[in-house]
A and B are shown apart, each in its own frame.
Chain A
Amino acid sequence: MTFEELQTYPPLTETTFFILLSLAASEKHGYAIAKDVESLSNGRVALSTSTLYTALKRLLEDGWIARAGEDPEPDESGRPRKTYILTELGRRILEAETVRLQSLVAIARTRCTGDQI
């Protein structure tokens, strides 16, 4: 898929963007993603399990993320925690979205402050 084709994707929701961004650094389990998203957004985006797993399910189906395996540290009930990883497609979509956001910011800055791109 070319970069131009990637840019035809509709803009990502904030939740999706933050989840992809979280997984861009390393593979994570569900709770770690939720905490990382909260941290990345300075506490503004607090994901409920419902919102988190709606997004994870869709991202898995679309092939933007994949299951990576199990975290060696179990969860509260002693069950192994499944981890997720960003796929190549997911990474490229995240990059395309970042470029789109950058261009938006640049346009806004030009209009608001008169700066040149």
Chain B
Amino acid sequence: MKRILGFIMRVYGMMVRLFPSEFQEEFGDEIQGVFATMIKAAAGRSKPALAVVCLQELRDFPVFLIRTHLEKGHMKKFFRSQPVAFAWRGALVFSLGLVLLNILSYFSSSWFITSSNGVVYRVVSRFWLEEHWTLAGIGVASVIGGLLFALFFSERTQFGWYALVGILGWFVTHATFYALSQSFEFDFLHNQPIGILIDAMLALEGALLSVMFFVAKSGRRKFVWPLAAGAILYPLASYFLPQSLLYSYRSQPLLKIHPSWFFIAMIILVVVLMAGVVWVAIKSGGKAPWMVVVGAAGYVFVFRLCDAIITRLHLIILSPTKYQGLTVIDVVNTGIQPLLTGILFGVILGLLLGWERRDAQKTGA
């Protein structure tokens, strides 16, 4: 129970930091003291009593927060505050990037098949990642996504550097995930234990992005290089590792990867890369290890949440009406799902990084 109370207080402490600085100076400690006493008393009664106190606080908090900021024109300051500014930028960058990635991938697959009398498609088809291989679309989206990242987060003189971080940190890894998931029947990928693999890949994606995000903003450039190496290694190893494992077992290359080999190879790869990311985060110091945890868990959670929401939407979309070859479900899958995922994940990361920066400024780092 002590740990739960400690956790609740930490979350509440973060909430209190959303108030204007003058308000925090005047009432911050006092409010936290009263809340600590309240939850301790409630916990002494029962767990439901504790839940009621917390829910009551959650219910009243947003109104209180807005009212405090509205008084004396604090609203403008609130929206310009570091965590909020980072949150909306994060939401914008990641939602736009994801939507773009999905749209370009969606349309480029048909372009591949028809372009140059299908020559490009035939070349790409020689790889085991054969169906719906949308390399060009993903590549273009990655570059644009990286540029967006730099545009919203970098200082002007470091634009190129941030663009590189943006492309490598996440869009490449997401492209890898997307390409792999499109390379097999979707049903197969969602079967256990492959479902675990999807979550592991998502966790890696979220962790890598979070730490990249952190080291870029905190100016710890030397830590970007091992992360960049990991980001480049990821798609390459995704291609070669399953094949090499299979080759050493049967002494012959196979064009088609068997699901179990694919699973083993990919799990090994993801675990190794994740260990690397955690190592870099620990070395980076500050809140980087927290960024890994929140990034990894947050991305899996957000992805699954949005997936569940979209599945519900599918159930209520009864009419598969086509408009210029697109159904409503296509639009939902290609546009709304990544939009929602990007917004939620961007907000989570932005808030966390915003707080990190505020801590760093306070301590003069």
A interface residues (Cβ-Cβ under 8 A, vs B): 29-31, 34, 46, 48-54, 56-57, 75-77, 79, 81-82
Q: Flag if B33 contacts A77 (CB, 8 Å).
A: yes
Q: A75 near B60 (CB under 8 angstroms)?
A: no
How many angstroms between the C-alpha atoms of A48 and B63 in the bound complex? 12
B48-80 residues with Cβ-Cβ distance < 8 A to A are 53, 56-57, 59-61, 63-65, 67-68
Partner of B57, one of A49, A75, A81: A49
- The segment from B35-43, B220-228, B355-363 that touches chain A is B35-43
* A49 to B: closest C-beta gap in Å: 5
| A30 and B56 alpha carbons, distance in the complex (Å) | 17
The reply to whether B34 and A77 form a contact with Cβ atoms under 8 Å apart is: no
Q: Which residues of B contact A46 (CB under 8 A)?
A: 56
Contact-size category for B:
20 to 34
Q: From A61, which residue of chain B is reached at the shortest CB distance?
A: B71
Binding site for A on B (CB under 8 A): 23, 26-27, 29-38, 40, 53, 56-57, 59-61, 63-65, 67-68
Q: Which chain B residues lie closer than 8 Å to A56 at the CB level?
A: 27
Q: Do A31 and B34 touch (CB < 8 A)? A: yes
Beta-carbon contact of A49 and B63 below 8 Å: no
List chain B residues, Cβ under 8 A from A50.
57, 60-61, 63-65
Residue of chain A at shortest CB distance from B40: A76
Query: In the assembled complex, which residues on chain B have CB atoms less than 8 Å from the CB atom of A29?
Result: 34
* Closest 7 A/B residue pairs (Cβ): A50-B64, A75-B33, A50-B60, A76-B36, A30-B34, A48-B60, A48-B56
Shortest Cβ distance from A98 into chain B, in angstroms?
Answer: 27
Chain B nearest CB, measured from A86 CB (Å): 18
Distance (whole angstroms) from the CB of A25 to the closest CB of chain B: 19
- B34 engages A75 (CB within 8 Å): yes
Are B68 and A54 within 8 A (Cβ)?
yes
Which of A49, A57, A79 is close to B38, meaning CB atoms less than 8 Å apart? A49
